[in-house]
Amino acid sequence: MIEMITVIRKAWPTSRMLSIVRALRRAMALIPRVADRV
């Protein structure tokens, strides 16, 4: 149980970073489309 908790603690920041990177990539992909509309 303790080993699993330590693994989850180590993986939690990386998974959070991945979600942030995905959100940034989506924003970067949407910016040109919005710029074309304006």
pLDDT digits (tens, 9 = 90+) for 1-38: 678 778 777 777 788 888 888 999 999 898 888 778 77
pLDDT of residue 25: 92
pLDDT of residue 3: 81
Residue 28 falls in which region: left (phi positive, over 0), alpha (psi -120 to 50) or beta: alpha
Compute the residue count for the chain: 38
Q: What are phi and psi of 22, to 5 degrees?
A: -65, -40
Tokens of 5: 């908790």
Containing structural domain, residue 19:
1-36
Beta-sheet strands, E only, within 1-38? none
Looking at the 3D structure of the chain, how many domains does it have? 1
